[in-house]
Structures are given as structure tokens and as C-alpha cells.
Amino acid sequence: MYLDGRLLQAGASSLTRVGYVPQDDIVHQELRVEDEITLCARLRLGTDVPMEEIRALVDDIIDRLGLKKHRRERICHLSRGQRKRASISTELLANPAVLFLDEPSSGLDPATEYPLMKLLRIYRSKVAR
């Protein structure tokens, strides 16, 4: 597979610029939204990144994905669309150049699907700048 005209190889640094969200939720159901995203940030960004920076990144992702009022709720209590946004948020932490989504609107009703697609378009335009 090629990314930006370069062949991707296993273990290549370019793979860190690729995010993938499968159709099934990739978040821990019993954790709160904020705790899940913080845990993922600490795992992905490593110990070199100060906790203040991680908190700021988590706040930004939660805000951009419209999860602010759900940040302290357990993921198992979220709607399908909110869980999907929580899954996507864990991949956006690394600011991927490419984000693959496996049927991101699967199981969502049209009223929930539209805001999610709009949100992804807005995120794409921010990354492209």
C-alpha cells in the first residue's frame, strides 16, 4: 500500500501517521470518556509528553468531537453515535495524516449519521491547513 506516494512497510515510521477505526467499538465500555481518551493518549504519546499537554489534547479532542457534556459518563451509557465518536477520538490523538473508518455510520440513524459525517469533514479541513 502507498501513502503520499511512498510504499508503506511494516514498522515504518509512516505507519504512525495512519489511523484506523474498525466497525466495532475500540473503547473500554466501563471507563469514562475522559479516562479512556486520557489512557489512550498516555499510551500513544509516551512518557515524554507532560501530563498538562496530554490534558490539553484530551480537552481539545473531547470538545471537537462533541463529547464535552458526556466526558464523565461511562462509555457503556453512551448512544451508538457517541460511542463511535469516542472510538474515533482515540485515533485522532496521534493526528493521523490518513484516517480509515470501517463503516463509520453503521448502526446509526440518519439524524445521528449526518452530524458525524459533518464533524469528520470539519476535522479533515482543520488537518489539511
Question: Tens of pLDDT along 52-103?
Answer: 999 999 999 998 888 999 999 999 999 888 888 899 889 888 888 788 888 8
Burial of 27 (0-12, 13-18, 19+ CB in 10 A): buried
Task: Please tell me which residue, 83 or 10, carries the higher pLDDT value.
Answer: 83
How large is the average pLDDT for residues 44-54? Answer: 90
Number of domains in the chain: 1
Angle between helices 51-64 and 33-45 (to 10 degrees): 130
- Report whether pLDDT(15) > 70: no
Query: What's the domain range around 107?
Result: 2-128
Give this prediction's pTM.
0.78
- Report whether pLDDT(21) > 60: yes
Between the CA of residue 8 and those of 11, 95, 116, 117, 121, what are the distances in Å? 9, 18, 29, 27, 25
Inter-residue contact 75 to 83 (CB < 8 Å): yes
- Report whether pLDDT(129) > 60: no
How large is the average pLDDT for residues 9-36? Answer: 79
Q: CATH number of the domain at 37, please.
A: 3.40.50.300
Percent of residues, the chain, with pLDDT higher than 70 = 85
- Report whether pLDDT(3) > 90: no
Compute φ and ψ for 21, nearest 5 degrees. -120, 110
